[in-house]
Amino acid sequence: MLISKRIKWLSLQYLVLLSLSKSVLGQGEGGGDAINAATTNEANPDGSCEPITGYALKQFKVDSSSEVTISNNSVGVLYNCVAGTVATGPSTYIQIKEGYFMISEKQFLFLCTAGTCKASSTPKKGYYLPSTTADTTNKLYSYVGDSPSLKALTNANDGYYLSGEDFENNKYNDLIKCSSNTCSKLEGPSKSSYYVSGEDFDTTGSYYKKLINCNESGKCTIVVEPTVLGFYTNGDGKTDTEVKKLIDCSTANQCKEVYEQKNGYYLHVQKPTGEGHYLDASGIDAGGKYSKLILCEHDDSKKCEFAAVAAERMTEEEGNYYFLGGKDTSKVIKCTYGDDGNKCEEVDGEKKAGYGYIDFGTSGNIIACTEGTCKSLNKGNAQVAADSILAQNIGFLDANEGEDASKNIIICFNSDDVCTSTLIDGVQRHAFLDGTSYDSNSKIFKNVIKCMESGGCTPLESVPLYSTAEVYIDAGSSESEN
């Protein structure tokens, strides 16, 4: 590029030589070498560069005979002033050959490629990385919002930004990552992932109000104020086989990155794969117990939500409370309420017939784990009167009582949604219908829990044959029903 020696004495921060067409700048077969420098002011005595403002930015014809207006899509060359000193000499100019550069006063974003720069007043919406040879002050250029305007950002919050450089079909293919006020391009973001958006970061509370969602094809969009509470898969550091971090949005519009994942489950925003309760890893204590649960349902909503294992749902009485587990069908979740709140853990369900747990997760239900598979039985299988069959209340040995289960009977009544555990003195020849033995096809109970002279109760080991039939008083029903 042949430039007049006088260019070294220019005091403007940027000398822009742009054209409305190739002919104006002489960019025909001779390329850009035909551009002549325009006469401008001299450099400052100390060799510094005088910042250019407002309409001081000019574009000249090749012969410098007159000015022309820089407009959208103008093409030409762009120079950056490099300050000197009295000792080293006056300021000099270097050509900006690659990258983005913005002059906000003129509302133009320049994209320079192989030494040729093009001005745009309406670039694609998004964020842009400044050319490192042209702008060391600003961290990002932005053109975002419903009524976008070009802005130069001297500071950038930690987080991710949608890159306007690769935007198509209302989706973004690339992101910009900023950390400690240093920004770089992130090519090919993780698929089916989320990223914290630095666009709207609350510095007081240190949380993010927006997320960026990248779909299964790696195309990204902004999520304005995520309303679905829970944890999101963090694309930062994610591989095909491992998620290194999560994004905690369990509080509305207050998202934070989770760097240390603990044993347990996190409420994910996608549909559940298993119904039941899960130990919430966000509520684990130093002793390995959990104070929170996650409930996943397979009703029409097919959703998971935080289960409030807290005073508003759990009686303020010390004791154990049980929930149907979703991870392992052979286990139940046991929560113990005490002075220091709730402590939950996963325990093996009692497999023996006739045993059950009051299901605190579903009022009126009983959890039975007969033969190693735990299920929540509606009203404990208590039956209302129908088709000439009398109403039937049922009983379970209270598995929560351990060795004393035989002296504690859970009775479920067909008339309401309440099951209660009662300490009893078993009376010989009294019995309860075994709630775990109900056959939904034949609609009969195949066993009973009999009470013995010793005071305890136990399921029959085998049902007597017709010829040796035994008769018991139904201790689970009222006197009129016995």
- Residue of 79 and 459 predicted with greater confidence: 459
Q: How far is the C-alpha of 244 from the C-alpha of 360, rounded, in Å?
A: 34
- Among the candidates 261, 280, 309, a domain finishes at 261
Domain that holds residue 86: 1-124
**Residue 35 falls inside a structural domain:** yes
**Residue 351 falls inside a structural domain:** no
Q: Indicate if the pLDDT at residue 340 is higher than 70.
A: yes
**Residue 30 falls inside a structural domain:** yes
Digit-coded pLDDT (tens) for 239-290: 666 666 788 888 888 998 876 666 666 666 655 556 778 787 777 777 778 7
SS3 of residue 135 by DSSP: coil
Q: How far is the C-alpha of 168 from the C-alpha of 396, rounded, in Å?
A: 63
DSSP state of 345: E
- Among the candidates 261, 291, 319, a domain finishes at 261
Same domain, 202 and 115: no
Q: What confidence category does residue 119 fall into, taking pLDDT thresholds of 50, 70 and 90? A: confident
Query: CB neighbours of 399 closer than 8 A, spacing ≥ 6?
Result: 349, 350, 355, 356, 357, 405
pLDDT of 7:
35
Question: What is the number of other CB atoms lying within 10 angstroms of the CB of residue 416?
Answer: 11
Q: How far is the C-alpha of 211 from the C-alpha of 159, rounded, in Å?
A: 10
Same domain, 162 and 101: no
pLDDT of 240:
65
Q: What confidence category does residue 132 fall into, taking pLDDT thresholds of 50, 70 and 90? A: confident
**Residue 210 falls inside a structural domain:** yes
Q: Are strands 473-474 and 430-433 parallel, antiparallel or unpaired?
A: parallel
Query: CB neighbours of 368 closer than 8 A, spacing ≥ 6?
Result: 355, 356, 357, 374, 375, 377, 396, 435, 436
Tokens of 468: 């040796």
Same domain, 108 and 159: no
Question: What is the number of other CB atoms lying within 10 angstroms of the CB of residue 85?
Answer: 11
How high is the mean pLDDT of the chain?
A: 76
Total structural domains within the chain: 3
